[in-house]
C-alpha cells in the first residue's frame, strides 16, 4: 500500500496499480505532467473487490484529460477496505492518485 496522495509516471500502454492506505469513499486522479498528451483511463475498486484492468479508451473506465491539472473523481465501490486504482495511458504522463472524502471536502 502507498500513502495518499501518491505520484506515478505511467509506462505507455501498461497497466499500473495503486493501492492507497486507508479507506476512502472517493479517489481523484490528476494529470501532473502531460508529457505525451494522452488521457489516463482508470478503474476503481478495493482490496476486497479489485477493479478490472482498464484499456486505453475502453468502455467501463473513467477518463482523466491529457492537459496538466486535468482531474477526474470516481467513487470507491467497497468503502470498508483500502482503495485500488488501476491506470493506463497511451503516453507516459505523471499523475497523482489521492483518496478523497468528497462530502467534507478534505483529502489526504
CATH of the domain at 56: 2.60.120.220
C-alpha 48/C-alpha 100 separation (Å) is 19
pLDDT of amino acid 103: 60
How many domains is the chain partitioned into structurally?
Answer: 1
The verdict on residue 107 lying in a domain is no
pLDDT, one tens digit per residue, over 61-105 is 999 988 878 888 999 987 889 999 999 999 889 999 999 886 655
For 70, residues 6+ apart whose C-beta sits below 8 A from its C-beta are: 30, 31, 34, 39, 64
The verdict on residue 106 lying in a domain is no
The verdict on residue 21 lying in a domain is yes
Q: Which domain holds residue 54?
A: 6-98
What's the order of all strands across the beta sheet hosting 16-19? 16-19, 83-89, 40-46, 62-64
Our CA angle for 13, 68, 103, nearest 5°, is 95
pLDDT, one tens digit per residue, over 38-55 is 899 999 999 999 999 999
Task: Assess whether pLDDT exceeds 70 at residue 20.
Answer: yes
The verdict on residue 68 lying in a domain is yes
The model's pTM: 0.89
On whether the CB atoms of residues 22 and 1 are closer than 8 A, the answer is no
Cα–Cα distances (Å) from 26 to 43, 60, 73, in that order, read 12, 17, 7
Task: Assess whether pLDDT exceeds 80 at residue 34.
Answer: no
The verdict on residue 35 lying in a domain is yes
Amino acid at each position: 500500500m502507498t500513502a495518499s496522495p501518491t505520484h506515478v509516471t505511467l509506462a505507455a500502454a501498461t497497466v499500473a496499480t495503486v493501492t492507497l492506505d486507508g479507506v476512502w469513499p472517493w479517489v481523484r486522479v490528476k494529470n501532473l505532467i502531460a508529457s505525451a498528451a494522452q488521457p489516463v483511463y482508470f478503474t476503481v475498486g478495493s482490496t476486497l473487490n479489485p477493479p478490472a484492468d482498464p484499456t486505453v479508451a475502453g468502455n467501463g473506465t473513467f477518463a482523466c484529460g491529457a492537459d496538466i491539472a486535468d482531474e477526474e473523481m470516481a467513487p470507491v465501490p467497497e468503502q470498508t477496505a483500502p482503495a485500488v486504482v488501476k491506470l493506463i495511458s497511451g503516453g507516459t504522463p505523471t499523475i497523482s492518485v489521492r483518496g478523497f472524502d468528497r462530502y467534507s471536502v478534505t483529502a489526504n
